[in-house]
Amino acid sequence: MSVYKKIAICIISLFLFVILVNIGLNYWIKKQLPIIIDQKNKTAYHINYEKIEVSLWSRNIYAQTLLVHPKNQLENSKTKTGIFSKIESITIKHFNIWDLAFRDIIQAESITINKARVILYKKDEKLINNRKSIKTEIIEPFRKIIAVSNIYLNEGSVDVVSLKNDKPILSIKNIILKLEGILISDVTLKQKIPMHFEKYVLICDSLYYKPNAFYHLNIGKISTENNFLRIRNFSYLPEFNRKEFVQKLDKEKDIYTIKLDSADIEKMDWGFKNERFFFKANSIVANHVDANIYRNKIPKDDLSKKYLYNALLRKIKFPLQIDTIQILKSKLVYEEEIDFSKGPGILNFDHFNMQVTNLKSGFGLTKTPDVKIKVNCQFMKTSPLNVNWSFNVLNQKDSFHIQGTISNFNVVAMERFTKPYINTSFTGKFNKYHFNFYGNDNSAKGNATLDYEDLKVKLFKKKDREKEAKLKTAVANLLLKNDSGDKSKKADVELDRIPEKSFYNFLWRSIAESLKKILI
């Protein structure tokens, strides 16, 4: 027999041997996988699949139509509790044959999950009751079945449903997720985030979340990658109409309705350090915010102390730092009414732009620059309003400085607020009003100047709000100085703070005090 024939026979024999080994290992692994997934599955969940294929050449595993459900779920039970999932397919790439054959674990480079629908049925309306259960009941047990460096999820969805009312607490649709450079170890499992990863990408088409009984939020699209986050079409809306909402309140409280077109967070860094959460960002930019704040005076007063913003930021028990916040091309409306009989008084702030710099929580700091806030907008749709406000988070007296200017203000525009609220309307013009106040948690002092002309007041009857109370109007106009003359009128202001009222009430009282001194 020639040398060439011997070589050919050896190659063919080796090739046949490899094929037989591949067939044998494929057969053995296919038998072993169900044992790992079922009999040696120490998780709280059953995993069933319709079809599974294994390729030793490419070291890939492909599974089709997977179902996941709790082991303790009774077959005849009509009420579902726990996590249920249906997955169209899973591809595991470059698995370690040795680990699968001898360690009963699927160790691989990556897993790709396609069209996974996950539903968590909860007995209450809390999104998460025990954060440690995610670690102990899901991540740690599944780690003993499969360990990968990269996870890819395509077209996923997650729903958390309350069994109390069969309504969603959380719903996320069309999720695309990439987690790369994953590390899960005994050390990471003891940490707040039970895994480490080098890179992440998350995109989803829609998110619904109900944080409490009074509000829900919607986000049209979320995309985040490492240190960047973008959201589109955000809304934070009440669950009830105003009358229903007010009836459910024990104490007087603002009702918020907030919408925005987009928001971007740049150079974001977050996580846990020494078991404490931290969040930092270079900038947050929100575009076309439409915010409405409504307050009804029917509920009894909330007599708890209202802290100023210095103290509120100081009370945050983790490092928070946002270098710049910008709110652009936005709108703010404040409404207040005594009851539902007259309609609310309305204050409009259109073309609203705000910039905040050096926002920090103060946690762990001994020195920090002032928080500075600049606002420019159109007040009551007609008049330019500019405000500059600053305070230091670490100042224990909660000191602040605020000044602002409103120009070319036709006071007729205030009728939308004054007529329903104090049964009064005005005519005339504020050519320029400027205020400059220094304050703290106890008091405020400062001054204001006003250049105005042709100011007149009209009072209306209590029982017929459309009819003028002529005698009262005449008396009021006799007391009123209807013109500032050749130069602006100035007034000094000194005012004690009401601790049960907000900063904005404090500011409004200071402004009102200055106007009273100038006009009467």
- The predicted pLDDT at position 193 comes to 73
pLDDT digits (tens, 9 = 90+) for 448-502: 999 999 988 888 887 777 788 888 888 878 888 888 888 889 999 999 999 999 9
pLDDT digits (tens, 9 = 90+) for 103-114: 667 788 898 999
The pLDDT-based confidence of 359 (bands split at 50, 70, 90) is: very high
- The predicted pLDDT at position 98 comes to 67
Distance of alpha carbon 201 from alpha carbon 182, whole angstroms: 13
pLDDT digits (tens, 9 = 90+) for 39-90: 666 777 888 888 888 877 788 888 899 888 887 765 555 667 888 999 999 9
Q: What is the mean pLDDT of residues 217-227?
A: 94
pLDDT digits (tens, 9 = 90+) for 227-240: 999 999 999 999 99
pLDDT digits (tens, 9 = 90+) for 384-399: 999 999 999 999 999 9
Distance of alpha carbon 456 from alpha carbon 480, whole angstroms: 8
Between 8 and 368, residue with greater pLDDT: 368
Q: Give the chain's length.
A: 520
The enclosing H or E element of 103 equals none
Say whether pLDDT at 11 is over 80.
no
Say whether pLDDT at 149 is over 80.
yes
Question: Which 3 state secondary structure label does DSSP give 77?
Answer: coil
For 379, other C-beta atoms within 10 Å of its C-beta total: 21
Distance of alpha carbon 64 from alpha carbon 59, whole angstroms: 17
Between 46 and 159, residue with greater pLDDT: 159
Contact call for residues 476 and 457 (beta carbons, < 8 A): yes
For 439, other C-beta atoms within 10 Å of its C-beta total: 23
Q: How far is CA 268 from the centre of its chain?
A: 15
Amino acid at 13: S
- The predicted pLDDT at position 351 comes to 97
Say whether pLDDT at 330 is over 90.
yes
- For residues 39, 42, 44, 46, the Cα torsion angle rounded to the nearest 10 degrees is -30
Amino acid at 47: I
Most confident of 83-92, 161-170, 366-375: 366-375
pLDDT digits (tens, 9 = 90+) for 295-313: 999 999 999 999 999 999 9
CB-based burial of residue 132 (10 Å sphere; 0-12 exposed, 13-18 middle, 19+ buried)? exposed
Question: Which 3 state secondary structure label does DSSP give 117?
Answer: strand
Q: What is the mean pLDDT of residues 172-189?
A: 83
pLDDT digits (tens, 9 = 90+) for 410-439: 988 887 777 776 678 888 999 999 999 999
The pTM score is 0.87
The pLDDT-based confidence of 10 (bands split at 50, 70, 90) is: low
- Within 267-341, strands assigned E span 269-273, 276-296, 320-337
Q: In degrees, to the nearest 5, what angle opens at C-alpha 8 toward C-alphas 4 and 9?
A: 115
- The predicted pLDDT at position 126 comes to 74
- The predicted pLDDT at position 164 comes to 83
Nearest to 129 by CA among 81, 86, 167: 81
Distance of alpha carbon 34 from alpha carbon 31, whole angstroms: 6
- The predicted pLDDT at position 45 comes to 80
Nearest to 326 by CA among 363, 360, 372: 372
Say whether pLDDT at 1 is over 60.
no
Q: What is the mean pLDDT of residues 306-323?
A: 96
The backbone region for 132, taken as left when phi is positive above 0, alpha when psi lies in -120 to 50, beta otherwise, is alpha
Least confident of 119-123, 319-323, 504-508: 119-123
- Looking at every residue in the chain, the average pLDDT score rounds to 86
Whole-angstrom CA distances from 217 to 131, 220, 238, 326, 335 are 22, 10, 9, 21, 21
- Name the one residue in this structure whose structure tokens are 């509920």: 299
For 106, other C-beta atoms within 10 Å of its C-beta total: 19
Between 324 and 340, residue with greater pLDDT: 324
Q: Could you write out the DSSP letters of every residue in 453-513? A: EEEEEEEB-SS-TTSB-HHHHHHHHHHS----TTS-EEEEEEEE--TTS-HHHHHHHHHHH
- Name the one residue in this structure whose structure tokens are 């103060």: 362
- The predicted pLDDT at position 4 comes to 58
